[in-house]
Structure 1
Amino acid sequence: MNLSNLLFRTAKVFPDRPAIACGELDLYNYRELAARVLALSGSLRGYFGLRRGERVALFMQNSPHYLEILYAIWHAGLTAVPINNKLHPKEVEFILEDSGSTLLFITAGMDHQILTSNSTKLLQVIDTDSKEYLALFQGGEASVASNDPSDLAWLFYTSGTTGKPKGVMLTHANLLTMSMCYFTDVDTPQKEDSILYAAPMSHGAGLYNFAHVIVGARHLVPESAGFLPEEIFDLANRYRNISMFAAPTMVRRLVEYSARYGSDPSGIKTVVYGGGPMYLEDIRRALDVLGNRFVQIYGQGETPMTISALSKFHIGNIGHPRYLERLGSVGVAQTAVEVRVVDIGGQILPAGESGEIIVRGDTVMSGYWGNPTATLNTLRDGWLYTGDVGALDQDGFLTLKDRSKDIIISGGSNIYPREVEEILLLHPGVAEVSVVGRPSHEWGEEVIAFIVPEAGAMIDLDDLDEICLKHIARFKRPKEYRILECLPKNNYGKVVKTELRRALESER
C-alpha cells in the first residue's frame, strides 16, 4: 500500500481535525492538507514530468510544508530523500549526486548554489517560501501513481562517521510495518494528541508522523523549527497531550531546564528517546524530574526505529527485582521483528553472553542504494547484521554494550566502553563522558576516558578512580582521564569517537 493512502483515509473520515500547526497557529485541517498534497503531486508529475521511482530531495529545516511534500512525493510514485539540514554542503552534494535526485526542496536561507553546483541530474531547486512553490498548488490533481508496497519510499542516508554515507532503501511496506509497531510497542496516539517535531523531520522524528496521521492527530512544528526547552514546555501547556521523539542529549536539556525553572511537564504525554545511549543515571534523573513519560526505542536506519523498545510500563515498574537492570536495557524485541545475539560464526549465544545483534523482519531495508557489496556484508541469510554488540537476558531484554568497532581489547579481555561510561557518570561532577581505546605495546589497548564536567564543577581524578574501583574490575579502569569542554559530535548529536581516537593517535 502507498503511504499516501494513510493521509487520504484520515482526510475522508476525520476531515475537520487540525492537521498542521506552526507554534500556536493551526494552519490546515486534514481535508485541506489532503487537497494540498493532491495539487502538489499533480505538479510533480505534470509540470516537472517526473516518472515513477525518481528521487526528490528535501534539504529543509523542520517546516509546516515538510509533510505535504513527503506525501505528495509518495502519491506521485516518487522516492523521498530527506537530508539533515545541518549537514556540510559537501555532504549534501554527495547525497544529491549519489541518489540522482531530480528536484530539491529547501527552506529559506539554504545556500543552494553551493549545494547543487556539481549535481548532474538536478532539474530545479524550490524554496518553500517562494512564489514558485505557491504556484505548484495551482495545477491539476493526480491519481495515485503506485500502490506497490515494495516500491522505494524513503532513501535514508547514514551519518557516514566512518566513511561515505550509504543510502538505506526503505519501502512503503517497511515504513507501514514500522508504524504498526508504534501502536503495539511504543505508544497509543489519540486524536487529541499532537506530535511535536523538535528533532529533525528528516530522521526519526519525521518517521513517527505515520502513526499520528492514522489517528488524525495534530502535527506541530515549533516556530523556532528546532529544539528549545522553553518553547517545548510552552507548547505542551497550550496543546496538552504532546508526544515527541528526542535524542538523549535533548532529554537531558529538557530535564535540566525543568529542574532549574520548575517547568510543568504535565502537557507532555510521551517522550520517545533513542538514537544514542541513554545512561542509567540520566534516565533515573529524568524520571525524578519529569515523571514516567518515557519510552526508549532502539533501531537503526536499516530497520528504522524498530529493533526493541522499553515501554512506559517497564520503565515505571520499580518493584521488579531486576528493575535497574531492565532500566539500563533497550527493552524487548518489537512485535514485527526477531532479534538474536550471535557469535562471530552466526551461532546463537546463550542468555547473558555478549555478541553481535542481528534482526529479521518486515521493517528491514531492501539494501543499500547502488552499493551491492555493502548490502551483501550487512544482509545475510535474511538477517540484518547491525554491528552492535549486546546481550539478551532470560526474559528477552536486550542490553547494548557497544558498536563492535568500539570494543576495547586489553590484555586479551573485552572491555565495553559504555559500561565504564555508566560508572563514571555516577560522579556528580561529570556531565558527559566518552571512553575509547588507545594502542598499548604492553596490553594491546588501554582505556582512556574523556570527561566533560558539569558547569563550575572541579573533578578530583582520584575520586573517579575510586568510583571505578568500587564498581568495576580493576583492568577496566581508565589509565588516563582527559578533561574537555565538549565532546565531538556529529549532526545527529552522537559522539564521534573516531575524532577522539584520532587525537590520541596524533600524539604517538
Structure 2
Amino acid sequence: MNLARLLARTAQARGDRPALALGERVLTDYAGLAGRAARLAGALRGRWGLEPGERVALAMKNRPEYLEALFGLWWAGLAAVPMNAKLHGREFRYMLEHSGARLCFASPEQAAAIAGESAGLDRLAELVEVPGPAWDRLFEAEPLPPAESAETELAWLFYTSGTTGRPKGAMLSHRNLLAMTACYFADVDPVAPTDSILHAAPLSHGSGLYVLPHVAQGALQVVPESGGFDPAEVFELFAAHRGIGFFFAPTMVKRLVEHPAAGSVDPANFKTCVYGGGPMYLADIEQALELFGQRFVQIYGQGESPMTITALPRWEHGRRDDPRWRDRLASVGRAQLLVEMRVAGPGGEGSAAALPPGETGEVLARGPSVMAGYWHDPEASARALAGGWLHTGDLGSLDADGFLTLKDRSKDVIISGGSNIYPREVEEVLLRHDGVLECSVVGGAHPDWGEEVVAFVVARQPGAVTPEALDALCLAEIARFKRPKRYRFVESLPKNNYGKVLKTELRQLLEDVPD
C-alpha cells in the first residue's frame, strides 16, 4: 500500500477538514492538499519522466510546502530523501550523489549551499528552490491518481551515520512506515480529526514521520511561522489550535518548561508531547509533569526502526502510587505493539541470546517497522541485521516487567539538542590540519543541550594550531552544529594496549579537571 493513499482516503472521507496551517492561519483543507499532491505527481512524472522508485531529495527547512512535496513524491510512486536542513553543502552533495537523487527541492539557503557543490552531479536533473516561480509552475500539471506501490518498495531513505562517520541510508519501505503509524495509535497517542500536530522539530526527522498518523485521521498539520522551535511561539499556538501534540527532543522539553511564560499559560489545548531522540533526565521529566500534568509520552527508536522500538505511555507517567514509578520514568518503556525487543549478551556476530532481567547487553529489535537494510551497503546491512534482528548498538537492561532502561551508547554518538553528532566525522576533519597530530572527540555535559562536542587535541608542536584555526576548518567542511564547542590541548591521548583511545577516560577528565 502506497502511503499516499492515507492522504487520498482522508481527502475522500474528510476533505473539508483543515489540513495545513502556517502559525495560526489555515492554508488548505484535505481535499486541497490531496489535489496539490496529485498535480505535483503529474509534474514529477511528466516534466522529468521520473520512474517509480526513483529518489527525490528534500533539503528544506520546516515549511508548509514540505508536506506537499512529501506526499507529491509518494503520490508519484517515488522515494523521498529528507536531509537535515542544517547540513553543510558537502554533506548535501554526498547524500545526493550516494542516493542517486534525480531531483532536489530546497529552501533558498539550502539551494545556495547545494548549488555551490553541485558540479559533477550528473544524475541530478534539477535543483528547485522552494518557494519560488519554478515550484509554483509545477502545480499547473494535470493531476494523477496515486501510484500503485508495493508495501515493500522504498518510501523514505533516512540518512544516519555510524561509527565510521560516513552517512548510511536506512531504507524505509511503505510497510515500515505503516507499521510505525499503527504503533503510534496503539502505544503513543490516539488521534482525532479535531486534533493538531505542531512541527517545531525538523520535518526531516521524527516530526516528519509523525505526519503520517495525523494525516491518516485528518488532523491539522501546523508549521510555526518561525519554521523552528521557539517556546514563546509554541505557547501562543496553544491558544490558536485544539488538541495540540508535538514531538520534541528532551532539551526542547526542558526549554519549554523553563520559559518564563510556562507557569501562566493555559495548557487546555496542549494534548500530547512525545519526547525522544536523547536522554531525558529524571528531574527534568518530573518538573515537566509537575507543571503541565500527564501529557507526556516517551519513545525510543532509531532511523533503522523509526520511532518504534519502545514507548512509555502517558498513563505510566501518571502512576505515582506505584513504588517503582521513578524507576519507570527513568526507563524508555516497553516494546511497542508490532516490535519484538530483547537485550542480548555477547556470543559472536549475529548472536541474539536473551539475557535475564537486570543484566546489561545490546538492545535488539525485530518486526515490520525495521528497515530492509542500508542503501548500497550490503556489508553494513548484514552486520546491522545479523540473525534477523536489528542490532541497535545501544546498551540497556530489561526489568521483569519488560521495561527497558538504556545504560550507554556503544557507538559513542553525541546527542546535542536532539541531533546526532558522530565523533569520527569531526575527528577526520580536525586531522586535516597540519598542526594536529592526534585528536579525539567526546560529548561533554551541557545544561541546555544535553551534550556538547569537546575535542581533545595533541598538537605536533606547541603553538602549531589554535582553536580559531580548527573552528575555521570545521565550518568549511561540516555543519556548524557539529563543530566542537570546546578544545582541550593535551600532551597525549589515553590508550589501551591495542592503541585504541579510551574515551571513557577523556569523559572522566572533563568532569575532574575544569577548563
TM-score range, shorter chain: 0.7 to 0.9
Distance 2:488 2:81 in 1: 34
For residues 319 and 491 of structure 1, what CA distance do their matches in structure 2 show? 46
Q: In terms of mean alpha carbon deviation, does 218-227 or 105-114 score higher?
A: 105-114
Identity of aligned residues (%): 50
Distance 2:334 2:480 in 1: 25
- Counterpart of 2:508 in structure 1 is none
Shift of the 62–399 alpha-carbon distance from structure 1 to 2, 3 Å rule, reads: same
Deviation at 1:260, TM superposition (A): 6.2
Q: CA 1:405 to 1:502, structure 2 compared with 1: closer, same or farther past 3 Å? A: farther
Matched, 1:213 2:215: yes
Alignment-mate amino acid for residue 308 of structure 2? T
* Aligned amino acid, residue 206 of structure 1: G
1:49 corresponding residue in structure 2: 49
SS at 1:145's partner residue? coil
* 1:161–1:291 distance in 2 versus 1, CA, 3 Å: farther
AA partner of residue 282 (structure 2): L
- Give the residue type in structure 1 aligned to 2:391: Y
Equivalent-residue separation in structure 1 for 2:480 and 2:31 (angstroms): 34
Q: Deviations over 1:80-136 (max 9, x none)?
A: 000010111111111011001110001233313124234231110111211111111
1:63 is aligned to 2:63: yes
Paired with 2:363 and 2:320, the residues of 1 have a C-alpha distance of 27
8 A Cα contact 1:20 1:220, kept in partner = yes
Helix, strand or coil: the match of 2:140? coil
User: Does residue 352 of structure 1 match 2:354?
Assistant: no
Change over 3 Å in CA distance of 1:97–1:136 after alignment to 2: same
Instruction: Map residues 123-134 of structure 1 onto 2, 5 A cutoff.
Output: 123-134=125-136
Residues 129-184 of structure 1 deviation map (CA, whole Å, 9 limit, x = unaligned): 11111111111122333330000000000145751110000000000000000000
1:400 counterpart residue number: 406
Q: How many residues align?
A: 436
Shift of 1:506: 6.3
Change in CA separation of 1:229 and 1:310 when aligned onto 2, cut-off 3 Å: same
Q: Is the alpha carbon distance of 1:269 and 1:33 closer, same or farther for their aligned partners in structure 2, counting shifts above 3 Å?
A: same
Match of 1:286 in 2: 288
Distance 1:53 1:452, change over 3 A: closer
User: Are the structure 2 counterparts of residues 132 and 452 from structure 1 closer, same or farther at C-alpha, using a change threshold of 3 Å?
Assistant: closer
Contact persistence 2:305–2:369 (CA under 8 A):
yes
Give 1:383's match in structure 2, choosing from 377, 384, 389.
389
> Taking structure 1 as reference, are residues 194 and 373 closer, same or farther at Cα in structure 2, changes over 3 Å only?
same
Distance 1:357 1:171, change over 3 A: same
Q: Is the 8 A contact 1:258 1:264 kept in 2?
A: no
TM-score normalised to structure 1 length: 0.81
Does structure 1 residue 273 correspond to structure 2 residue 275?
yes
Would you say 1:98 and 2:98 are equivalent positions? yes
Partner of 2:299: 297
Q: Aligned-pair distance for 1:312?
A: 0.3
| Structure 1 gap segments, 5+ residues each | 408-416, 419-435, 437-447, 455-487
Q: Which amino acid aligns with 1:123?
A: A
Q: 1:30·1:216 contact (CA, 8 Å) conserved in 2?
A: yes
Match of 2:190 in 1: 188
Residue segments in structure 2 that go unaligned for 5+ positions in a row = 416-422, 424-441, 449-473, 494-515
Letter in 2 for 1:394: A
Whether the aligned pair in 2 keeps the contact of 1:298 and 1:306 (CA below 8 Å) is yes
Equivalent position amino acid for 1:336 in 2:
L
- Per the alignment, do residues 377 and 159 of structure 1 end up closer, same or farther by CA in structure 2, a change over 3 Å counting? closer
Of 311-320 and 137-146, the range deviating more from structure 2: 137-146
- What CA distance in whole angstroms lies between the structure 2 residues aligned with 1:152 and 1:11? 24
- CA gap 1:491/1:247 in 2 versus in 1, 3 angstroms: farther
Partner SS for 1:265: coil
CA distance in 2, matches of 1:38, 1:506: 62
- Calculate the aligned-residue CA RMSD, in Å: 2.6
The 5-angstrom pairing of residues 215-234 of structure 1 reads 215-234=217-236
Partner of 1:27: 27
Partner of 2:89: 89
Contact 2:362/2:393, CA 8 A, preserved across alignment: yes
User: Is the Cα–Cα contact under 8 Å of residues 169 and 374 in structure 2 kept in the other structure?
Assistant: yes
Judged with a 3 Å threshold, the aligned counterparts in structure 2 of structure 1 residues 137 and 358 are, in CA distance, closer, same or farther, namely: same
- Tell me how far apart the structure 1 counterparts of residues 82 and 177 of structure 2 sit (CA, whole Å): 14
| Change in CA separation of 1:453 and 1:372 when aligned onto 2, cut-off 3 Å | closer
CA deviations 1:423-464 (Å, max 9, x no partner) are xxxxxxxxxxxxx9xxxxxxxxxxx9945468xxxxxxxxxx
1:403–1:140 CA distance, 2 compared to 1 (3 A): same
Q: Partner of 1:213: helix, strand, or coil?
A: helix
Amino acid at match of 2:140: Q
- Amino acid of the residue matched to residue 327 of structure 2? E
Amino acid at match of 1:202: S
Change (3 A) 1:173 1:259: same
